[in-house]
Chains A and B, each alone.
Chain A
């Protein structure tokens, strides 16, 4: 249990360091960096490498935005197994939906509750 907190901290931190290096050394904007991360996550899951990574690092691998690409691919592949090629299209948001729907819903609630500053 303590080990999983430790590795979540270290792996999550290291992924953020990679992001910071992309900010500072390669001068990418946040949008570019995050998009790159999501694409990397999708590709890693394509090779079946992201699942073991989650097993190892827990939230250290699921909380960074890379897991977004991973779960998109995951949903698509799960559906594809059942329904063939068309499943790739229909299953994509099956797993990821919680992240996006939470962002939309809480975004709107936030806009209702809070007033813009400055």
Chain B
């Protein structure tokens, strides 16, 4: 019985470690998602710039962003070992973006759900008109404001 428990514990811990190691490189060298935003209802230049700014921070492997004429939404991922400073990171990035894009209402989130939703939105950006896109972005921003 005892041996079994030891065996399973080690199996568990080590298999988890291995998987962890296997995932990390992909996290650190993210492949850019291939999407074209040429035909997006709003010019996504600001969003692209915001992504670059966010990714220049230490420990941020990937950031995605969309903008409308007035709003800028940015979601980013953080290396897992740096997640203790998640809230501070969020604040510093938000401050920086607010300074850089004064004309925009900036929302920054590190939440996985917001990241997924933003990714989904970006992938179908071309098929939306302005009104729909405004609504979608507003929905995501509302979701990120929700408190526990």
Contacts and interface: CB of A to CB of B under 8 A. Distances in A.
Interface of A: 1-7, 9-10, 51-53, 55-56, 71, 74, 78, 95
B70 interface: no
Given A9-B16, A52-B87, A55-B86, A3 B148 contact: no
Contacts of B16: 5-6, 9-10
Interface in B128-148: 147-148
A117 B87 CA distance: 49
Contact of B20 (A3, A53, A56, A71): A3
Is the contact region of chain B dominated by helix, strand, or loop, or is it mixed?
helix
Interface residues of B, number: 16
A71 B84 contact: no
Contacts of B84: 52-53, 55-56
Nearest to B16: A6
B23 interface: yes
Contacts of A3: 20, 23-24, 27, 80
Interface of B: 12, 16-17, 19-20, 23-24, 27, 80, 83-87, 147-148
A31 to B, nearest CB: 27
A78 B12 CA distance: 39
A71 B85 contact: no
Contact of B23 (A2, A52, A71): A2
Given A71-B148, A78-B147, A95-B148, A6 B87 contact: no
B13 to A, nearest CB: 8
